[in-house]
Amino acid sequence: MQREEPSFEIITVGNELLTGRTLNTNSQWLSERITQLGGFVSRCTVIRDDVTEISRALRESLRRDTKFVIIAGGLGPTYDDRTLEGVAKGLSRRLLVNKQALQMLKVKYKQMTEKGVIEKFELTEPRVKMARLPVRGIPLPNPLGTAPGVLLRVDTSIAACLPGVPSEMKGIFEDSLKRLITKLTGRVYTYSRSLMLKGIVESSLAPLLDGIVAKFPDVYIKSHPRGIEGTISRIQVEIGGKSRRKGVAETKVNNVAEELGKLVQGRGGSIALV
Amino acid sequence: MQREEPSFEIITVGNELLTGRTLNTNSQWLSERITQLGGFVSRCTVIRDDVTEISRALRESLRRDTKFVIIAGGLGPTYDDRTLEGVAKGLSRRLLVNKQALQMLKVKYKQMTEKGVIEKFELTEPRVKMARLPVRGIPLPNPLGTAPGVLLRVDTSIAACLPGVPSEMKGIFEDSLKRLITKLTGRVYTYSRSLMLKGIVESSLAPLLDGIVAKFPDVYIKSHPRGIEGTISRIQVEIGGKSRRKGVAETKVNNVAEELGKLVQGRGGSIALV
């Protein structure tokens, strides 16, 4: 598939991801949503809760001409939530209490006091910390939690910080980032099909795919060997396309599936929808 | 937790990871195993099946003084399996057919011919491709599939390429990399506990954790808010430690758990094992 601009990168922050304690479903969810919205995710990076690491990863990403960097994790009140500090360092900006963000937090903690979740309303230092944004950061309301997200414009690029709690991350993404992304990508239609090939091994499929890829350069084909049952080799094949006009991706993908089916049958294999 | 050398990085290669079509369980599995073996995973990167991207990601990783880089995915016979090409480019080495690797492949395809999985034994170009390694690469036998893994020494660092099929990746890791990693890390004992705190919000927990972290700098504590049930806030806390002597990590972690319990109860909260 041809590379389409603008490119997106995802940085997820958290020691628990690097020890394997937590499966990185946040990175997958963001990748899938951005792809659905027509964006091209060019890289995902996982780093630990460390100011220097966060700062470096953000700078590296911007140096790769990334249009939109999403950083998820590390916005909370505890000692290891250092993302805004790292982002400020990476962008050489100061951290300053943002009035709008502080107002958002006040509302949240007032609600919690009224509901009896906390005993008394106080804006303690760990709470105020979540309103300390890199200069010119715009706070994004958190519909399902406390810490606001943060949107930053950096020259012609955008960096957005989201909390690591999956529901909060998704909530802010849908409320505040979705529209922004769609504006960047324009409307894109995607279509994909999954086929199971039987009776052909991957090394015999390879030259058939070469021919198809040369003929349909803008369709993406990926083969996943699924083992050998008895003497029958099985390979799952994903075929995906996207287009700006409705129906075009479907036609391309279906043409590829049909051609692949013929070629595989010509080699004595069979093909089934998954 | 203090940073412990040697550091490891994981690079997973595959467009399907960047579109969110596939959840990156390989990265988690590798992170977890390396951590269990006493290694410190400092970064995970996901890139697409692209020679330049693979080459860049590897170079960047080695520039960060990574001792051991594991690259998973892209060793197969199809057009989009470009990892060895990318690694060769990244290390400025040529790709050459490796006799040992070719012998491994011969054995695999002969077995497939005898079993009737493929009709006749042939070493076609897509099959030979899997034996074309960066110069001075050492092939690693694949107990559960076809493509050999590859081990490369780069100055004082090591780079290892593994297939992306999870069973094959795990097989080669256990057979060929585990011992190598243990030799680098030495024996390390790890211990962790998970607690559920109730009746305290994260921003009230934050200053308590600050005190504990200052007192126990080599124990790792991470809090994960688990929402509010009725009026009761719930936070899951992971406490982890490692040590070279048996029993030391347990003692440290248990001390932290005990101290945290007391502090949380002093604030009107309660604590339970998960």
Q: Given B33, B205, B225, which is nearest A165 (Cβ)? A: B225
Q: At what angle do helices B202-215 and B248-266 cross, to 10 degrees?
A: 140
Contact B49, B80 (CB under 8 A): yes
Instruction: Return the structure tokens found at B240.
Output: 């982890």
pLDDT at B230: 87
Could A223 and B115 be called an inter-chain contact, meaning their C-beta atoms sit closer than 8 Å? no
pLDDT band for position B6 (cuts 50, 70, 90):
confident
Per-position b or e across A198-215, b if 16+ CB within 10 A of its CB: ebbbbbbbbbbbeebbee
Q: B155 vs chain A: nearest CA distance in angstroms?
A: 24
Interchain contact A261–B (C-beta under 8 A): no
Domains of chain B with bracketed CATH? 7-185 (3.40.980.10), 189-273 (3.30.70.1130)
Query: Of A49-58, B2-11, B45-54, which gets the smallest average pLDDT?
Result: B2-11
Is the Cβ–Cβ distance between B193 and B239 less than 8 Å?
yes
A79 with B206: Cβ contact below 8 A: yes
Please calculate the CA angle A26-A153-A128 and round it to the nearest 5 degrees.
70
Structural contact between residues B32 and B39, judged by C-beta atoms closer than 8 angstroms: no
Q: What is the mean pLDDT of chain B?
A: 94
> Looking at chain B from residue 155 to 194, which residues have their Cβ under 8 Å from any Cβ of chain A?
165, 192
Question: How many contacts does A have with B, using Cβ atoms within 8 A?
Answer: 195
End-to-end CA distance of chain A: give it in Å, rounded. 22
Q: What pLDDT score does B9 carry?
A: 98
Residues 60-89 of B with CB under 8 A from A: 60, 76-80
Can you give the pLDDT at residue A1? 41
Amino acid in position B127: R
A273 part of contact set with chain B, CB < 8 Å = no
CB contact under 8 A, A1 and B24: no
Cross-chain Cβ contact B44/A18 below 8 Å: yes
A210 at B interface, C-beta within 8 A = yes
* Integer Cα distance of B251 and A131 in angstroms: 37
Contact B79 A125 (CB under 8 A): no
Quick one: three-class SS letters along chain A? CCCCCCEEEEEEECHHHHCCCCCCHHHHHHHHHHHHCCCEEEEEEEECCCHHHHHHHHHHHHHCCCCEEEEECCCCCCCCCCHHHHHHHHCCCCEEECHHHHHHHHHHHHHHHHHCCCCCCCCCHHHHHCCEEECCCEEECCCCCCCCEEEEEECCEEEEEECCCHHHHHHHHHHHHHHHHHHHHCCCEEEEEEEEEECCCHHHHHHHHHHHHHHCCCCEEEEEEEEEECCEEEEEEEEEEEECCCCHHHHHHHHHHHHHHHHHHHCCCEEEEC
Q: Quick one: closest CA in B to A21, which residue?
A: B32
Q: State the complex-level ipTM.
A: 0.93
Residue B1 has pLDDT above 60, yes or no: no
List residues bridging with A229 in a β-sheet. A232
Q: Examine the pLDDT at B273 and tell me if it is beyond 90.
A: no
Q: Are A177 and A158 in contact (CB under 8 A)?
A: no
Task: Tell me which residue in B213, B233, B238 faces A117 most closely, judged by beta carbons.
Answer: B233
Tell me the pLDDT tens digit for each residue of B209-250.
Answer: 999 999 998 899 999 999 988 899 999 999 999 898 889 999
Q: What's the start-to-end Cα distance of chain B, in Å?
A: 22
Touching check for A47 and chain B: CB below 8 Å? yes
pLDDT of residue A146: 95
B23 touches chain A (CB under 8 A): yes
Indicate whether B125 pLDDT > 70.
yes
A35 contacts on B by Cβ (under 8 Å): 18-20
Contact B117 A18 (CB under 8 A): no
User: Mapped to the 3 state alphabet, what secondary structure does chain B carry?
Assistant: CCCCCCEEEEEEECHHHHCCCCCCHHHHHHHHHHHHCCCEEEEEEEECCCHHHHHHHHHHHHHCCCCEEEEECCCCCCCCCCHHHHHHHHHCCCEEECHHHHHHHHHHHHHHHHHCCCCCCCCCHHHHHCCEEECCCEEECCCCCCCCEEEEEECCEEEEEECCCHHHHHHHHHHHHHHHHHHHHCCCEEEEEEEEEECCCHHHHHHHHHHHHHHCCCCEEEEEEEEEECCEEEEEEEEEEEECCCCHHHHHHHHHHHHHHHHHHHCCCEEEEC
Q: Percentage of chain B surpassing pLDDT 90? A: 90
pLDDT of residue A72: 98
The set of residues, in sequence order, having a beta carbon less than 8 Å from that of A20 and lying 6+ positions away, is B28, B29, B30, B31, B32, B33, B34, B35, B41
Partner-chain contact B233 A119, CB within 8 Å:
no
Average pLDDT score over residue span B105-117 = 95
Task: Give the one of B18, B31, B203 whose C-beta lies nearest to A20's C-beta.
Answer: B31
- pLDDT, tens digit (0-9, with 9 covering 90-100), for B78-107: 999 999 999 999 999 999 999 999 999 999
- Whether the per-residue pLDDT at B252 is higher than 90: the answer is yes
User: B268 CB contacts (<8 Å, ≥6 apart)?
Assistant: A119, B199, B200
Listed residue (A218, A83, A50) closest to A152, CA to CA? A83
Give the number of C-alpha atoms closer than 13 A to the C-alpha of residue A224, restricted to the C-beta side.
Answer: 19
- With an 8 Å Cβ cutoff, are B18 and A43 in contact? yes
Nearest to A66 by CA among A136, A11, A139: A11
Nearest-CA distance A135 → chain B (Å) = 23
Distance (Å, rounded) from C-alpha A125 to C-alpha B138?
Answer: 55
The pLDDT, as a whole number, for residue B203 is 95
Mind telling me how many Å the CA of A126 is from chain B's nearest CA?
A: 6
Judge whether A43 is closer than 8 Å to chain B, CB to CB. yes
The pLDDT of residue B4 = 52
Of B41, B79, B222, which is closest to A80 when you measure between CB atoms?
A: B222
Q: Is it the case that residue B274 has pLDDT exceeding 60?
A: yes
**Contact yes or no for A26/A45 (Cβ under 8 A):** no
Residues (pLDDT < 50) of chain A are 1-3
